[in-house]
Amino acid sequence: MSLIRRYLDLVKFEHTIFAMPFAMVSLLVAADGRPSWIVLFWVMAAMVGARTAAMAFNRLADRHLDAANPRTADRHLPAGTVSPAGAGALAAVGGLLLVASARQLNPLCFALSPVALVVVLGYSYMKRVSPLAHLVLGLGLAIAPMGAWLAVTGTFAPFPLWLAAGVLFWVAGFDTIYGVQDVEFDREAGLHSLASRLGVERALVLSRVFHVLAVACLAAAVRRTEALGLVTMLGVAVVAVLLAWEQAIVRGGDMRRIDKAFFEINSWVGMAFLATVLVDLYLL
């Protein structure tokens, strides 16, 4: 595997698709469907920088835990295919890209960029102190639609706040599911997750609650703007169906199809929602 490929795989670059569609929705609505290409470029750059910094830092902070966990022992740092110094350098580059991109957008984005870094990097240590780490991860991804809105308007508004809340609960819901895989290891290592604190069954119930809240928040976001209408509401319904499917796959703690529940379905959620937004903005 080439050096570049190893670093891209370290941060799971392809998973940027999770939050990207929601940032695009926020940016398009804020710009009335006509965003500046310059703003679009710097928003995308800021997102890539933030996510790269977060993932590289997480792998660096968790390298000893990953080495002790049979499920994660073959990750790049425990396996020695990427060095700690290399991961640290990548995290620093990602952080600098976020701050530099925010500076190109407007003063508010630039001023808030260190706050965004604190959130996305701080997640790596939350699991050591609180089972609310799932919500902190959700907050990290929820920054994307809020930041995209601020990049265009420079002001806060109800629509991006509801959209961000939807992302927060969506991510918290699927991360709670993902955490079930490591419930025994987390207990032995003294790590905190909802599954290790509440048990698998209760954690999955709470995951369903998070996903119901996510759908409700997305619907509330659509109702807070005149730019979107019935088609996007149908998109919210599609999101609800996808999340119900995800929950059905892992019902009873069955993790045999966790990759489908976590990676495939969640990659469709944002894309399906974005597709209906595009129809509302450009075809109706």
Exposed, middle or buried by CB within 10 Å (0-12, 13-18, 19+), for 9? middle
Residue 222 pLDDT > 80: yes
CATH of domain 3-282: 1.10.357.140
Span 72-98, average pLDDT = 92
What is the reported pLDDT for 170?
Answer: 97
Would you list the domain boundaries of the chain? Answer: 3-282
d(CA 122, CA 221): 27
Span 90-102, average pLDDT = 96
Write the pLDDT tens digit of every residue in 47-82: 999 999 999 999 999 999 999 999 889 988 898 888
Residue percentage of the chain with pLDDT more than 90: 79
Span 26-43, average pLDDT = 95
Residue 1 pLDDT > 60: no
Which has the minimum average pLDDT: 17-31, 140-154, 209-223? 17-31
Please name the residues in contact with 251: beta carbons below 8 A apart, sequence gap of 6 or more: 204
Write the pLDDT tens digit of every residue in 232-273: 999 999 999 999 999 998 887 677 777 766 678 888 999 999
pTM of the complete model beyond 0.85? yes
d(CA 116, CA 74): 30
Query: Mean pLDDT in the chain?
Result: 91
Give the residue with greater pLDDT, 283 vs 133. 133
